[in-house]
Chain A
Amino acid sequence: MISDNDARQGYFRLLDIISKSRLYWIIPQIQEEISKGKVILKSIKDIPLIDYFGASNYESSKNSSKEKVSISEAYSDKEQLKVLLIALEEIIEIHSIRTEILASLKNINPRITSIQFMQEETNTTIDFITDNILQEEAGAFSILSNTIKQLKEQI
């Protein structure tokens, strides 16, 4: 199992790399997930639990008739790194969707060789899918997927 220090360093290093790569746009989603932390609903009668989390993390319900309170706990360094790795796995999942789309549409019309996503106003191609592109991605994503899986087992 990796140390908290390794996890923290790894998280920030990967975050830096992602932010400078073509995947920069997943950063806000990762940060949103991490900022949510863990919200736990517990009975107000669980006094030992409130003492455990500490007064600074305690938020009481404004409705005094409710017996439940929410307690926010931040993700640990290892959990933050895991969130980042899960986000990367989602990117790999997107590749499988692109592959499935082209295959399905070619099944309907074998003449189809490519798919383009185009912005209407700017006439800009945002994404372009062909068999060659998908094959090139498949190789890279396969390696990335295996490496991520190995690291998740170590966290």
Chain B
Amino acid sequence: MAISQSLLDEIGKEINNMPSNLTASSTIDNLYEVYLFTLVLKAAHKEGATVRLLNMNNTNPTTLYFRTSPGFITSNRQNYSFAEIAFPSVPILEAHVSIRVSGHSHVLHECDICILLKSEADLCRGSSDRVAPRSSKVILNIEAKFYTTSLSLDLGRSFLGLTADLSAKNSFFITNTMSVSVEKLLSHKSKSWEHNIKPGNNTEIDRLIPAFQNAFKEFKAKNS
């Protein structure tokens, strides 16, 4: 048998025997969002914040729970996790994955990663109805795109539409891959973006984390 055929057989066997519990494609997007969430927390820590990981009903968890689809910050159907970011002498922030935020138009938008004022989060939680935080209270918002195929231009256009309706101070478009057309569009419109963000791509990650730090730096300066 030719070597190439045995390699194909080997790959087939390994796929069949894989122990992975990745059972649905939805988890890839969710995983990438949480990965970017950890990069934001790294940036907050580097900028001098105390970062705490919390669940809805547990202040010192051993298991963290994340959403598989966007939801309300007020939801207590699952014990979803978030992070508290505390810089000295300025209002406390919270970092959430995949929550709905209210735009200028009062339309609800999905924020893949959202850093907002804790006071706004508490206001929503104190409400008797399902209330989404206002985008004017969002410090940093990330649109995460993990693709195994190349990005299509409509993703860049969608991001432009999202930022037009959000008052978030800093919005980022971040992807694991590249797209010349999307990058050209976002650059022309002076939007923040980064590509090739994945573990091991230190050049791009080392450029992104300081960008997050800059957002935190500005927040501290405006609120001190």
Contact = CB atoms under 8 A, between A and B. Distances in A.
Interface of A: 2, 6, 10, 13-14, 17-18, 21-23, 25-26, 29-30, 32-33, 36, 85-88, 90-91, 93-101, 104-105, 108-109, 111-121, 123, 126-128, 133, 136-137, 140, 143-144, 147-148, 150-151, 154
B4 A17 contact: no
B83 to A, nearest CB: 8
Interface string B87-127: 00000000000000000000000000000000000000000
Contacts of A119: 68-69
B27 interface: yes
B51 interface: yes
23 contacts: A6-B8, A10-B4, A17-B15, A33-B149, A33-B150, A86-B148, A87-B148, A105-B64, A108-B51, A108-B83, A109-B52, A109-B53, A112-B53, A112-B62, A114-B62, A116-B63, A117-B30, A117-B65, A120-B68, A123-B78, A144-B15, A147-B11, A154-B3
Contacts of B161: none
Contacts, number: 181
Contact of B10 (A100, A109, A147): A147
Summarize A's interface: helix, strand, loop or mixed: helix
Given A96-B200, A97-B31, A115-B63, A144 B14 contact: yes
Interface stretch (B33-41, B131-139, B184-192, B210-218): B33-41
Interface of B: 2-5, 7-8, 10-12, 14-28, 30-32, 34-35, 38, 41-42, 45, 51-53, 60-69, 71, 75, 77-78, 80, 83, 148-150, 176, 198-200
